[in-house]
């Protein structure tokens, strides 16, 4: 089983510790193409493109200017520690054992608008480029077109290497759309987390994001490789409710 999650807007680069396990992202040439286009944009155009404040636009303008393909210097961190959003608070990777981190290097991947697909110990620079950003690259009108089937093919290669045929989708819709489903050869299953509110169960974004991280943690720490074993997930009050075979969803509820 291979787990896929989204990246996060919140980043941390203050506690980077070099490691012999560090790796470089697989799609650095593609990332460089994107950076070359982004470097041409002014802070004002970045603000409009990304719908961010002037201060954030200035910050990301400088990030694009400072970005280096070598990833050997400047502000860098391992991807699994750099991302600090709700999913990663649920993941708690800082508490992983060395054995779990080693397992995660094979079975855990992060999607990225700039980097495409990241392993836990891939070194990244600070950046902001959401997958839904409508940036034109050559003949491609957006990042979905730019990435095409590259991400799916890389996941296929990983599946063959590991002998895995299940992709556990713990990413948001915005990011999971970057995986070309027609090119993907693994079977997709999506956990859905619902909380009770006013007598009904519904997906509440903040809680669902944290739950996705907790699910990834559960899978990695327990070396889960069978869908049946996911039913044992009970972190933070969630419990297995059922399976929607048609939608390929595994439903978890919390009262």
The pLDDT assigned to 71 comes to 86
Task: Average the pLDDT over 60-73 and give the result.
Answer: 91
3-state secondary structure of 138: coil
Q: What is the pTM of this model?
A: 0.95
The pLDDT assigned to 232 comes to 97
From 74, 76, 41, select the one nearest 58 (Cα to Cα).
41
Per-residue pLDDT tens for 155-168? 999 999 999 999 99
Alpha carbon separation from 119 to 96, 110, 160, 171 (Å, rounded): 15, 7, 17, 15
Q: Residue 111: CB partners within 8 Å, gap ≥ 6?
A: 4, 5, 6, 7, 117, 118, 131, 151, 171, 175, 176, 178, 179
Annotated domain spans of the chain: 2-254
Q: Reply yes or no on whether the pLDDT at 121 is more than 90.
A: yes
């Amino acid at each position: 089983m291979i787990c896929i999650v989204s990246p996060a807007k919140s980043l941390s680069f203050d506690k980077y510790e070099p490691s012999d396990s560090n790796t470089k992202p697989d799609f650095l040439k593609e990332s460089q193409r994107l950076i070359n286009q982004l470097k041409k944009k002014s802070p004002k155009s970045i603000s409009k493109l990304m719908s961010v404040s002037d201060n954030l636009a200035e910050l990301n303008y400088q990030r694009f200017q400072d970005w280096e393909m070598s990833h050997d210097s400047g502000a860098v961190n391992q991807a699994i520690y750099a991302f600090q959003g709700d999913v990663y608070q649920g993941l708690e990777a800082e508490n992983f054992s060395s054995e779990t981190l080693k397992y995660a290097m094979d079975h855990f991947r992060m999607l990225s608008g700039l980097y495409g697909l990241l392993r836990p110990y891939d070194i990244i620079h600070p950046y902001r480029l959401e997958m839904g950003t409508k940036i034109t690259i050559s003949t491609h009108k957006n990042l979905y077109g730019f990435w095409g089937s590259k991400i799916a093919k890389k996941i296929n290669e990983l599946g063959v290497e590991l002998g895995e045929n299940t992709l556990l989708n713990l990413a948001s819709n915005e990011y999971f759309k970057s995986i070309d489903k027609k090119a993907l050869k693994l079977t997709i299953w999506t956990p859905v987390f619902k909380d009770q509110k006013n007598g009904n169960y519904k997906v509440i974004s903040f809680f669902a994001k944290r739950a996705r991280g907790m699910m990834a943690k559960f899978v990695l720490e327990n070396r889960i490789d069978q869908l049946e074993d996911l039913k044992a997930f009970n972190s933070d009050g969630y419990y297995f409710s059922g399976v929607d075979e048609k939608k390929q969803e595994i439903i978890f509820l919390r009262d």
